[in-house]
Structure 1
Amino acid sequence: MPQLNPAPWFYTMLTTWLVLSLIIQPKLLSFTSTNPPSHKTLVSTKATPWTWPWT
């Protein structure tokens, strides 16, 4: 079966992986977030129970 032959695709996959990890990833990681996350305190709300009319 020709689709099981890794010879033409292995080098393509290896080249793509190297380009993504060595060239594109550092460029993407250099961007800074425009809205840094803020540390907000969690406000807990007390839920009121539902009153069922048939109970």
Structure 2
Amino acid sequence: MPQLNPNPWFFIMLTSWLTYSLIIQPKLLSFVTTNPPSNKTSTIPSTTPWAWPWT
């Protein structure tokens, strides 16, 4: 069964991951985000229970 022969497919997978890790990923990570997150103070949410009209 040719599916169980890892010889050509392992090389293809290894080559594609090395290409992604060494070439494509640094290029993608070098972009600056257009909308950086701001340092806002966190607000504490209101924890009052909901008054159900049928209880």
TM-score, structure 2 normalization: 0.78
Aligned position for 1:46: 46
Mean Cα deviation higher: 23-32 or 43-52: 43-52
Q: Structure 2, unaligned stretches of length 5 or more? A: none
Aligned CA RMSD, in angstroms, stands at: 1.7
Instruction: Give the paired residue count.
Output: 55
Following superposition, the deviation at residue 35 of structure 1 comes to 1.1
Give the distance between the partners of 1:7 and 1:40, measured in 2 at CA: 53
Following superposition, the deviation at residue 49 of structure 1 comes to 2.9
Q: Tell me the secondary structure at the aligned position of residue 21 of structure 2.
A: helix
Give the distance between the partners of 2:6 and 2:45, measured in 1 at CA: 58
Identity value in percent: 71
